[in-house]
Amino acid sequence: MDVTSQFKYVAARITKAGESGLLLFGYIINDEYQVDIKSSSVIKLYNTIEYPHQGEERFTNYLRLRETMLRLLTYLLAHASCGYVSNQELLVQVWENHNLSSSTTRLTQVISELKARLSKIGIADDFIKSSRGKGYTLRGASVTPLYIKKI
């Protein structure tokens, strides 16, 4: 399936979910990690991994994200698994639409911090990939949206 077909398929799934009374709960990444939007957290679904040397920081199976960082991650999960998302689109969707000041420097800082935080639960540093002139994409990611029924 080419990128355009993938995008249309994902967009159709999201639209159908919204029409059927479902709310987006989060995402599953590569069948290993769960992003929980309500609790602003990323959870490793399986065993905790530790560094081999005592005293070094170890991986954990849970981390909380600040609001802007969570918005950035969820926007990438929703849109970047099918191609690149431009810097300008991220600035508008993650910052400006929420009455926050945006800049490419701030975007770069938050992406860098997000990658560092995700690496603490075992997500590869190159999971979020940048390309000059194109924007950001998710490298080798299988992303599954999770929905809950509206009450």
**End-to-end Cα separation, the chain, in angstroms:** 35
Specify the pLDDT at position 141. Answer: 77
| CATH number of residue 54's parent domain | 1.10.10.10
Model pLDDT, residue 58: 55
Q: 96-128: per-residue pLDDT in tens?
A: 999 999 999 999 999 999 999 999 998 988 999
Assign residue 133 a region: left if phi > 0, alpha if psi is -120 to 50, beta otherwise? left
pLDDT score of 84: 92
Q: What is the pLDDT of residue 99?
A: 96
Is 7 or 28 the better-scoring residue by pLDDT? 28
- Give percent above pLDDT 70 in the chain: 78
**Domain boundaries, position 144:** 3-149
Specify the number of domains making up the chain. Answer: 1
- Per residue in 35-47, pLDDT (tens digit) is 999 999 999 987 6
What is the per-residue pLDDT for 3? 43
Instruction: DSSP for the chain, please give it.
Output: --HHHHHHHHHHHHHHHHHTTEEEEEEEETTTEEEETTTTEEEE-S-----SSTTS----SEEE--HHHHHHHHHHHHHGGGS-B-HHHHIIIIIGGGT----HHHHHHHHHHHHHHHHTTT--GGGEEEETTTEEEETT--EEEEEEE--
Do 13 and 145 form a contact (C-beta atoms < 8 A)?
yes
